[in-house]
Structure formats: C-alpha cells, structure tokens
C-alpha cells in the first residue's frame, strides 16, 4: 500500500503539472515551432549574397546588424553606392546580387537584362513624395522662371520624368531648359553652390539641410504638389530567383521583420546607421516616417510601374517595349507575405 501510495502521488503530481503547464506552455511551444520552421526554411536554401545599397537607407543595415538576415540563412555583404540607380546598374557587372531603387531605374534594368522585380518597398505615398524638395537659385520664383535654366538630373534616375511632368504642368517646354546629368547629390550640391546648375531635386533630411544652407538658394516646391508618385522596387537576376526560390522568400520575410523592428526602435536604428555610415542620428529619425519599407506588391505598385514604363518607352529611354507582367517574379513574396500581395494578376 505504501508503495502504491508513492506511485499514485507521483502520477498525481505529474498530471497536475501537465494540466497546469499545458495552457502556459502553448505560447512557448508555438514560438518553438515558429523558430523551428524558420530554421528549416533557412537550412533548405542558405545563400550568400551582395546587396547594393546607399548610405541613408536603414533597412538592409539593420537587417544584417540585428541578425534578421542570418536568421533566415542569408549571409549578406552590403555594398554602398551614391544612388540606388548606381546600385541597380552594378547588377549588370555582377558587383551585386540584389538591388533596390525607384521604379524608373528598376524598369530600365529589367528592360535590358535578365532581371525581375521581386517586390515593392511601399514608399509611393504622399508623405514620401513631400520629401522630394526642389531647390533653385533665388532668381527663380516660379516654375515659369525655369525657362532657359540648367536643371540637374541624376543619371539613371527618374528625375527626367519628374522634370518633364512638372515643367509641362506649369507650361514650360522641356526643350526650353538644359538638363545636366550628374552622378549623385554631392555633385549636384557642388554644382548648385558654384552656379553651374540652377535647380535640383533633393531627398533626405541630411541633404535637405545641406542644400538649405547654400547662400542664394531656396526651396521652390516639393514632389507632392505634382502628379508624380514614385514607388520603390527590389530586383534580382532571374538566375538567382530560379536557383534559390526559398532564399528569395526568406529574404523578403527578413526585410518585413526588419521594417517592423525599425518602426519600434527608431533610436537604435539611428545608432546603427550613424555607426556604419555616419548619417546624423537626428536625420535618420526624421527620415524614418518615409524611409522605412512596407514590403509587398499592390495594384497601385503595378499601375505606377506601368505609367513610368509608358513614359520611358515614349521618350526612347527604353528602346524595346515589353510586357511588364513578364518582368515580375512575385512567387517568393506571395509565399512569404501573402497578406501584402494585392496585385490582381491577369
């Protein structure tokens, strides 16, 4: 009887602990299952890639610094360029494996090479448009005064498109201005300061403060007062997408988790960017409202790309028209973030 009593007591305690712990352990079990699932996905398609980036974009650097990329089996090296367009161009010479940028350089790339769009950054908003400021010399008080002036267009970017729409909407012919191609904002800054150009579009808190400080220069308007809304896209070589479909899905998951982390931790994000690129912390925090991504692909994303493609074909920037849907590779996005995919495929 004594032996039976001991066994009964042990069993009773065991069942009691199981009953009490079952409810409390569900979140832990779910978390463990989620972690195991992520590890399985990463193990199924580990990859080493080079990512083309700029010094002011926080997403990739936080993704690497905080281990979001590593969590999904992605060993990433970040290569910094003056503009996103330069980064996208680097894909052609295999200097980088994944690039991002405004719709314009992305379309230019996919029209010429074996690349596809794997997702959008969700930055085609009113707030983002308002961050593009037009700085002009003080003798220019209206768009009409731009006639006969020298206008900066960063090579490979969407700025010629923005200039054409802005000037046309204000009754100025593009041919009545002179567009000057430049390699980056720093080159435009020096040229505006020296009087070699008369106007330039600028984005980013640090750059805006820098241009505001130029003597004899002022802000005339911003892009939100035009009809242009520029999204951002991520592009990759078709070979990479074909050979590593799970890695592409994992990559997009990592960026989505990174964006959420950035939104919740702006001060730490600013610290990371300052440490890596010397971007002033206050500038990063000011930019985060419009410089943090919402990974997905919407019907609006497709429409924006279509409008710019039509412009580029009409202007001869893209020599051979193409079916935009053929340049979308969104399987990884649909797998990774199905709720953020609202594009209605034909």
- Please say whether the structural domain 47-123+230-340 has been given the CATH code 3.30.450.40: no
127-225 belongs to which CATH class?
alpha beta
Q: What is the DSSP string of 326-337?
A: GGB--HHHHHH-
| Cβ atoms of 222 and 135 closer than 8 Å | no
Q: Report the residue count for the chain.
A: 346
Which residues of the chain are in CATH 3.40.190.10 domains? 47-123+230-340, 127-225
What pLDDT does residue 321 have?
94
Phi-psi region of 67 (alpha: psi -120 to 50; beta: other; left: phi over 0): left
Cα angle 7, 13, 18; round to 5: 125
What pLDDT does residue 41 have?
56
SS3 of residue 235 by DSSP: strand
What pLDDT does residue 43 have?
56
pLDDT values of the chain reduced to their tens digit, one per residue, 346 residues: 433 343 333 333 333 333 344 334 444 444 444 455 555 555 578 999 999 999 999 999 999 999 999 999 999 999 999 889 899 999 999 999 999 998 888 999 999 989 999 999 988 788 888 989 999 999 999 999 999 999 999 877 788 889 999 999 999 999 999 999 988 899 999 999 999 999 999 998 889 999 999 999 999 999 999 988 888 999 999 999 999 999 999 999 999 999 999 999 999 999 999 999 999 999 999 989 888 999 999 988 998 899 889 988 988 889 999 999 999 999 999 999 999 998 986 6
Angstrom distance (rounded) from CA 152 to CA 168: 17
Question: How many Cα atoms sit within 13 Å of 195 on the Cβ side?
Answer: 4
Angstrom distance (rounded) from CA 221 to CA 129: 11
SS3 of residue 151 by DSSP: strand
Cα angle 122, 123, 124; round to 5: 100
SS3 of residue 128 by DSSP: helix
């Amino acid at each position: 009887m004594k032996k039976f009593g001991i066994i009964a007591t042990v069993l009773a305690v065991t069942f009691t602990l199981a009953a009490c712990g079952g409810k409390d352990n569900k979140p832990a079990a779910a978390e463990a299952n989620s972690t195991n699932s992520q590890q399985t996905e990463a193990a199924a398609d580990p990859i080493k890639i080079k990512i083309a980036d700029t010094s002011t974009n926080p997403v990739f650097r936080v993704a690497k610094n905080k281990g979001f990329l590593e969590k999904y089996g992605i060993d990433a090296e970040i290569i910094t360029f003056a503009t996103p367009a330069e980064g996208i161009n680097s894909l052609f010479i295999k200097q980088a494996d994944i690039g991002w940028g405004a719709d314009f350089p992305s379309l230019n790339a996919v029209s010429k090479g074996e690349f596809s769009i794997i997702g959008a950054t969700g930055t085609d908003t009113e707030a983002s448009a308002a961050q593009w400021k037009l700085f002009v010399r003080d003798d220019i008080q209206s768009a009409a005064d731009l006639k006969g002036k020298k206008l900066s267009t960063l090579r490979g970017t969407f700025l010629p498109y923005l200039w054409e729409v802005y000037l046309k909407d204000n009754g100025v012919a593009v041919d009545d201005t002179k567009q000057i191609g430049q390699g980056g904002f720093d080159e435009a800054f020096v040229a505006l300061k020296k009087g070699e150009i008369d106007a330039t579009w600028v984005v980013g808190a640090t750059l805006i403060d820098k241009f505001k400080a130029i003597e004899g220069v002022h802000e005339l308007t911003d892009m939100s007062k035009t009809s242009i809304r520029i999204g951002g896209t991520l592009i990759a070589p078709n070979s990479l997408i074909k050979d590593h479909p799970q890695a592409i899905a994992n990559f997009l998951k990592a960026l989505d988790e990174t964006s959420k982390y950035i939104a919740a931790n702006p001060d730490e994000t600013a610290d990371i960017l300052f440490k890596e690129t010397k971007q002033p912390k206050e500038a990063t925090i000011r930019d985060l409202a419009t410089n943090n991504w919402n990974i997905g692909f919407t019907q609006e994303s497709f429409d924006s790309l279509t409008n710019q493609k039509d412009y580029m074909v009409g202007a001869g920037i893209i020599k051979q028209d193409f079916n935009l849907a053929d340049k979308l590779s969104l399987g990884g996005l649909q797998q990774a973030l199905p709720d953020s995919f609202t594009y209605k495929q034909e």
